[in-house]
Chain A
Amino acid sequence: MKFNSILFLKSEDSKIEDTLEAPAFFIDLNLDQIIDAIVAGKWDYNLKPFFYFPVKDSDTIKYRQEIVKDLENRILLDTIKSFAQKMVIMRRYLAMCKKLTYKYHLEGWFLETVIVYCDAVNSLAQELSQIDLHSQGLRDFREFLSNYAGSEKFTTLAAETKSLKSDLSSIKYSIITKGNFVRVRKYDSEIDYSLEVLKTFEKFKQGAVKDYTQYLTVSAGMNHVQAQVLDLVAKLNPEIFKNLDNFYTKYRYFCDETICRFDREIQFYVAYIEYMERFKKAGLHFCYPLITQQSKEIYNYEGFDLALANKCISENLTIVPNDFHLKDKERIIIVSGPNQGGKTTFARVFGQLHYLANLGLPVPGIKAQLFLFDNLFTHFEKEEDIRNLRGKLQDDLVRIYNIPNQATSNSIIIMNEIFTSTSLKDAVYLSKIVIEKIIQLDLLCMCVSFIDELALLSEKTISMVSTVVPENPTVRTYKIIKKPPDGLAYAIHIAEKYRLTYELLKERIKS
């Protein structure tokens, strides 16, 4: 069995570029913030390209979901983390070796590098053998690793490393300095003088005192005096240092490529699992979505916006999860209702869930079935761009018309407050045209709009409304529920849009 990658089943997928850029909709959906938070502290692995590449293949998604499930086992996760830490150290040593100039110093650090590598491999193989694994990916890797760790090539390397280190550690020598003379010879069991001094004064001991050893400043690395001493130590122990020379020549390229690749790729999962922990601690849930292209029934219960929830947790604010469900012929959710009621957030959740699900990762919520999309399009209101010679309305139109042209019936479209820069009458007219086009394409869509009559256009649309506390309509619940559009909310919404409600006016007039 040939193990290749813990992330990819198809070998053409596994050749993604390190320089891959984020998809266009990342900023609209706040996915840029989410991915930044996920990979924070793991820059060395360059994980972002993996997160920029939805696999679009249900086998790979399943392959990944199984691996994440396995990794939710704390013991396995800790095992992987400890392996990763060792590999980090190994790489740091290896990078350092490239800069070293004194021969035995370089060879000494090279030996340390191999020690760390052997330990990383052996510990991982040993620990994995004791853990129950269910995923194809990790089982295949375990088999590969076990074969590698037992191979003659590796066991010889480990044995030689160990014996060489033990020989070097056993060397004890003396340095005698007087004036500018330095003499080196073997240690002749002279007694420790500091112990003797301590003994004389021990009777005065009065409890804790300052530790003066803190003032020893040791410059890192090796200077030419130390190097000369080391050369003389080598001369005193010629056999051992000859072995070191040979070791360095023989094992210059000791590191296995597949293991290095695994070390990087597995961090895709580790990063996401660590990221999820923060939300789970706050009482939020994640689930493994069913991913399908066969049916356009999609649902998610108790989903939430990861980017927003992350901020809420820091500021100790409550997070309000929301649900959606499209079944039978339903394809389009029209979200309306009062401003600041969580509508934009709801739209982002819709996008985030689909994107993360298509990466093969668990998503916010307790239960989900999501669509395996071929492409995702977003249209969120943008600031006017002065480099763009078109007016804002024209700009909106251009962007919106491009979307249905590129989309297929397997795409997903998310629109947030389109045509706000025109008159209400125009906005209603234009919006209807766009939605009708989407209806024709039969694709999944979420559209946030104050034009709530859009919800009544077809049996493919449903209406969801952001709600207020009935007793006090100025308090938002941030709950978005499925119900017919509310005329009153609409009127208030328009007033709010132009900042003409009683409260808003008062604020404005004050200044």
Chain B
Amino acid sequence: MKAFLMFKDRDFNLSSQLPPISDTLLQDLEINTLLNAMALKDDYLFDIAKKTILSSLNDIDAILYRQDILKDCLKNPSIVREIYQIPIISNEKKHKRWLGIFSRYPAAILNESVQIMQLFVDLLRHFRQIADEHADKFDSEGFQRFFNMLKTELDDEFFTDVEAHLVELKFRDGTLISAELGNGNEGTNYVLRKPKTKNQHWFKKIFSQKNPTYTFYIADRDEAGSRALSELKDRGIILVANAVAQSVDHIDSFFKMLQGELAFYIGCLNLYDQLNQLGEPITFPIPAAANERKLSFVGLYDISLALTMKQKIVGNDINLDQKDLIIVTGANQGGKSTFLRSIGLAQLMMQCGMYVPAESFSANLCEGLFTHYKRKEDASMKSGKLDEELVRMSILVENMTKNSMVLFNESFSATNEREGSEIARQIIRALLEAGVKVVFVTHQYDFAHSFYSKKMPNAIFLRAERQADGKRSFKIYTGKPLETSFGVDVYKKVFGIDS
């Protein structure tokens, strides 16, 4: 039984490793703010959301599959949350009643397994009931398949069989075990058998048959004999004990898996509620193929900033279709970093099947998203700052493929401008030729201008807005690189000097 709510055709791997450069992305794009909003202090939700967002899908159908399921969730939040609760209830009840397979003796393992199975059967009935009542409210392929699966697999016959086993496994009528002679005539291949007759008194009945039967009796005071007898029984029931115990483990992991497959959507529901309160819009993005160059949006805002400020913030509307190189220059604190982050976050959210923080959004898929941000000087670092930057860059390049996207923020400015620009120029040229999309936020006029003067059709230049009065609108427009970054404005603001 598979839930298949995260992928159409495979399980969501709960223990998968994060991609190698995840820590950098987390830090540069402030993803934790987003994750915290999704998790609402639930570590499990946090963890799943983190894995999902950092493990981008590279397939449009896979993205749309999740989008449809997410749309169903937004439509039926309480039903989805009810399903999500079942695995949690299972856990709580197990804890409360001290249920679990703790023993190391076959008879006890069987006994414990039967008890847990009894609990599981009740929860499985609950699933079946939800499927019966609500399946028709869901439109997505994923949920339809899921509910159908519940109905088929958890049919009446299944429940009848399970109940019968749970009675049978108490062995009220004794155990029937077959065996063979192994080396040294020691018994081997012990197998628990199901008596042929359905008659309650099969134990007595077999003696009336022609098949000769010999009997012996273990005296009450013969303790060694009793032990030997239970060992014999253990050998008979071990396979069935193993079967039930493993089934318990399987159902348990089915619950866990289901919890994992739904957790991401629960996170999306949580986030949606908060954005709703802020009055911020969301939209389901339109993904384009990786080899296209598409990036256009209306009202794209930095979701981390909105969640941190707890208020509606300025969005940007820009069409960057057909562009491989996007260079952003302009005013300090003019919203360049925010803009860069909003692009990165939206790209990640789109590629994990989420809605994005915008009124409309469309972009081509990226086979890898990378960030390269200027870092504070690290006291423990022995190498110089430029070395450090280049080391990080080299790690990124190791993981980079064609149709990746790299977000640079003030990179290679640790050295003087001429050298920094030249390094940046050479790197960017190489990346573009390799088919990598680049968004570069920079103060370095030399670097920005040199690309500008090339008049490349696939390059676009953006600038953080500076209004006539020197105030910033935090809006980004197209515009050629300018030689000053208005640092004087910031200086004035900090020192409270009015212009």
> Interface residues, chain A, CB within 8 Å of chain B?
100, 104-105, 107-109, 111-112, 168-169, 171-188, 190-198, 200-201, 203-207, 209-213, 215-219, 221-226, 228-230, 232-233, 235-236
Q: How far is the CA of A183 from the CA of B216 in the complex (A)?
A: 6
Q: How far is the CA of A201 from the CA of B380 in the complex (A)?
A: 56
Contact call A193/B194, Cβ cutoff below 8 A: yes
Which chain A positions have C-beta within 8 A of B212? Answer: 185-186, 236
Contact call B106/A174, Cβ cutoff below 8 A: no
Contact call A229/B187, Cβ cutoff below 8 A: yes
Q: How far is the CA of A104 from the CA of B236 in the complex (A)?
A: 22
Q: How far is the CA of A228 from the CA of B185 in the complex (A)?
A: 12
Binds A, one of B50-58, B220-228, B357-365: B220-228
Contact call A180/B165, Cβ cutoff below 8 A: no
**How far is the CB of A394 from the nearest CB of chain B, in Å?**
66
**How far is the CB of A480 from the nearest CB of chain B, in Å?**
50
Contact call A226/B183, Cβ cutoff below 8 A: no
Let me know if B214 is at the binding interface, CB within 8 A.
Answer: yes
CB nearest neighbor in B for A184: B214
CB nearest neighbor in A for B164: A200
Contact call B214/A105, Cβ cutoff below 8 A: no
Q: How far is the CA of A24 from the CA of B358 in the complex (A)?
A: 95
Which chain A positions have C-beta within 8 A of B191? Answer: 192, 194
What are the 4 tightest A-B residue pairs by CB atom distance, in nearest-first order?
A178-B174, A108-B185, A201-B247, A225-B228
Contact call B235/A218, Cβ cutoff below 8 A: yes
Q: How far is the CA of A356 from the CA of B462 in the complex (A)?
A: 88
Contact call A180/B239, Cβ cutoff below 8 A: no
Q: How far is the CA of A182 from the CA of B241 in the complex (A)?
A: 21
Which chain A positions have C-beta within 8 A of B224? Answer: 223-224
Q: Do A105 and B176 contact each other (CB < 8 Å), given the known contacts A182-B229, A191-B193, A215-B104?
A: no
Contact call B194/A196, Cβ cutoff below 8 A: yes
Q: Mind listing 29 A-B residue pairs with CB under 8 Å?
A: A105-B184, A107-B185, A108-B185, A175-B176, A178-B173, A178-B203, A179-B174, A180-B219, A181-B216, A182-B216, A182-B232, A185-B206, A188-B211, A192-B191, A193-B192, A200-B161, A204-B250, A209-B246, A210-B249, A211-B242, A212-B106, A213-B242, A223-B231, A226-B187, A226-B228, A228-B216, A229-B187, A232-B216, A236-B214
Those of B223-264 within 8 Å (CB) of chain A: 224-226, 228-229, 231-236, 238-247, 249-251, 253-254, 257
Q: How far is the CA of A25 from the CA of B162 in the complex (A)?
A: 79
Contact call B184/A192, Cβ cutoff below 8 A: no
How many B residues are at the interface, by size bracket?
Answer: 35 or more
**How far is the CB of B106 from the nearest CB of chain A, in Å?**
6
**How far is the CB of A442 from the nearest CB of chain B, in Å?**
65
Which chain B positions have C-beta within 8 A of A187? Answer: 178
User: 13 new A-B pairs (CB below 8 Å) besides A177-B175, A225-B232?
Assistant: A171-B181, A175-B232, A178-B174, A178-B175, A178-B203, A180-B219, A183-B215, A190-B194, A193-B194, A196-B194, A204-B1, A206-B11, A210-B246
Q: Do A175 and B242 contact each other (CB < 8 Å), given the known contacts A108-B183, A184-B214, A201-B250?
A: no
Which chain A positions have C-beta within 8 A of B241? Answer: 212
Q: How far is the CA of A168 from the CA of B233 in the complex (A)?
A: 23
Contact call B178/A232, Cβ cutoff below 8 A: no
Q: How far is the CA of A28 from the CA of B179 in the complex (A)?
A: 62
Q: How far is the CA of A171 from the CA of B168 in the complex (A)?
A: 28
Contact call A201/B194, Cβ cutoff below 8 A: no
Q: How far is the CA of A190 from the CA of B198 in the complex (A)?
A: 12
Q: Is the interface of B mostly helix, strand, loop or mixed?
A: helix
Q: How far is the CA of A104 from the CA of B186 in the complex (A)?
A: 9
Which chain B positions have C-beta within 8 A of A233? Answer: 181
Q: Mask for B256-294, Cβ within 8 A of A = 1, else 0?
A: 010000000000000000000000000000000000000
Which chain B positions have C-beta within 8 A of A183? Answer: 206-207, 213-215
Contact call B175/A112, Cβ cutoff below 8 A: no
CB nearest neighbor in B for A219: B231
Contact call B242/A182, Cβ cutoff below 8 A: no
**How far is the CB of B164 from the nearest CB of chain A, in Å?**
9
Q: How far is the CA of A200 from the CA of B244 in the complex (A)?
A: 10
Which chain B positions have C-beta within 8 A of A217? Answer: 231, 234
Q: How far is the CA of A225 from the CA of B233 in the complex (A)?
A: 12
Let me know if B217 is at the binding interface, CB within 8 A.
Answer: yes
Contact call B181/A206, Cβ cutoff below 8 A: no
Contact call A225/B229, Cβ cutoff below 8 A: yes
Q: Do A174 and B194 contact each other (CB < 8 Å), given the known contacts A168-B181, A216-B238?
A: no
Q: Do A177 and B220 contact each other (CB < 8 Å), given the known contacts A169-B180, A188-B211?
A: no
Which chain B positions have C-beta within 8 A of A175? Answer: 176-179, 232, 236
**How far is the CB of A453 from the nearest CB of chain B, in Å?**
63
Those of B333-362 within 8 Å (CB) of chain A: none
Contact call A193/B240, Cβ cutoff below 8 A: yes
Which chain A positions have C-beta within 8 A of B239? Answer: 192, 194, 213
Contact call A174/B177, Cβ cutoff below 8 A: yes
Q: Mask for B124-136, Cβ within 8 A of A = 1, else 0?
A: 0000000000000
Which chain A positions have C-beta within 8 A of B44? Answer: none
CB nearest neighbor in B for A207: B253
Which chain B positions have C-beta within 8 A of A181? Answer: 174, 215-217
Let me know if B196 is at the binding interface, CB within 8 A.
Answer: yes
Which chain A positions have C-beta within 8 A of B141? Answer: none
CB nearest neighbor in B for A192: B191
Which chain B positions have C-beta within 8 A of A176? Answer: 174-177, 203, 206
Let me know if B153 is at the binding interface, CB within 8 A.
Answer: yes
**How far is the CB of B69 from the nearest CB of chain A, in Å?**
21
Q: How far is the CA of A454 from the CA of B306 in the complex (A)?
A: 99
**How far is the CB of A222 from the nearest CB of chain B, in Å?**
6
CB nearest neighbor in A for B110: A212
CB nearest neighbor in A for B105: A215
Let me know if B101 is at the binding interface, CB within 8 A.
Answer: yes
Contact call B183/A206, Cβ cutoff below 8 A: no
Q: How far is the CA of A172 from the CA of B203 in the complex (A)?
A: 19
Contact call A197/B244, Cβ cutoff below 8 A: yes
Q: Mask for B115-152, Cβ within 8 A of A = 1, else 0?
A: 00000000000000000000000000000000000000
Q: How far is the CA of A219 from the CA of B235 in the complex (A)?
A: 11
Which of A177, A179, A200 meets B162, CB within 8 Å? Answer: A200
Contact call A206/B211, Cβ cutoff below 8 A: no
Q: How far is the CA of A107 from the CA of B109 in the complex (A)?
A: 36
Contact call A205/B192, Cβ cutoff below 8 A: no
Contact call B177/A177, Cβ cutoff below 8 A: yes
Let me know if B487 is at the binding interface, CB within 8 A.
Answer: no
Contact call B244/A177, Cβ cutoff below 8 A: no
**How far is the CB of A112 from the nearest CB of chain B, in Å?**
5
